[in-house]
């Protein structure tokens, strides 16, 4: 099932990135590349934070009806699938798409402004993308472990916002659904 999700999610992100990058200036394309890398790093941070977080503080928050606490509980209870999705699906897709975006930027660069060969530019861009991705994920993992409760709570608040404002339920609450069936 995860392979099917990955396939379709990768296609959607790839098509969106291609459409955006194809018709934009090099500088804006570079900005889009940085956003793709940031999303991959942020996704990894959430995936690590969910696996290293304790559920206890969120139960206390949920008892006090703090917005997002119930979603934080669901994230921690489903740490395996959430981490798998964040780290392996979204993180890896962003890594692949950022490489493609880097290559697309190289192809867009006019030869007059950058007299270096495309080969040299490709090597430099590959190093740049890899260093930002690996460095960002390395720093992000330390942050995720040290501040896991804060990160999971913010992710829970974001999911709560999606549910309240846009009526999008990312993680269904099985307990609530059972009560509705009665």
137-157 per-position pLDDT tens digit: 999 999 999 999 999 999 999
At how many degrees (to 10) do helices 56-63 and 148-166 cross? 40
pLDDT of residue 114: 61
pLDDT: which is higher, 163 or 146: 146
> Rounded to whole angstroms, what are the CA distances from 171 to 30, 81, 95, 102, 159?
33, 11, 25, 33, 8
**What percent of the chain has pLDDT above 90?**
53
Residue 45 has pLDDT above 90, yes or no: yes
pTM of the model: 0.83
Average pLDDT score over the chain: 87
Q: What is the CA radius of gyration of the chain?
A: 19
At how many degrees (to 10) do helices 26-52 and 148-166 cross? 110
pLDDT of residue 139: 97
Cβ neighbours of residue 78 closer than 8 Å, sequence gap 6 or more: 171
Confidence of residue 56 (pLDDT cuts 50, 70, 90): very high
Average pLDDT over residues 155-163: 92
pLDDT of residue 103: 86
The two three-digit tokens of residue 78, written as one number: 């489903």
67-112 per-position pLDDT tens digit: 999 999 999 999 999 999 999 888 888 988 898 889 888 888 776 5
169-182 per-position pLDDT tens digit: 777 666 544 444 44
pLDDT of residue 177: 46
Average pLDDT over residues 24-29: 85
Q: Residue 111: phi, psi to the nearest 5?
A: -65, -25
Average pLDDT over residues 37-62: 95
Q: What residues does each domain of the chain span?
A: 2-181
């Amino acid at each position: 099932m995860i392979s099917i999700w990955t396939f379709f999610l990768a296609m959607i992100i790839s098509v969106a990135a291609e459409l955006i990058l194809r018709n934009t200036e090099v500088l804006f394309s570079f900005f889009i590349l940085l956003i793709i890398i940031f999303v991959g790093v942020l996704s990894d941070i959430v995936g690590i934070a969910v696996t290293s977080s304790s559920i206890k503080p969120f139960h206390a928050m949920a008892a006090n009806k703090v917005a997002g606490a119930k979603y934080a509980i669901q994230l921690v209870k489903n740490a395996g699938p959430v981490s798998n999705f964040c780290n392996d699906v979204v993180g890896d897709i962003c890594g692949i798409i950022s490489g493609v975006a880097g290559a697309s930027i190289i192809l867009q660069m006019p030869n007059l402004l950058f007299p270096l060969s495309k080969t040299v530019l490709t090597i430099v861009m590959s190093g740049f993308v890899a260093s930002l991705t690996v460095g960002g994920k390395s720093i992000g993992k330390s942050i995720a472990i040290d501040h896991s409760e804060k990160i999971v709570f913010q992710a829970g608040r974001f999911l709560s916002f999606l549910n309240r404002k846009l009526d999008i339920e990312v993680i269904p609450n099985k307990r609530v659904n059972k009560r509705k069936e009665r």
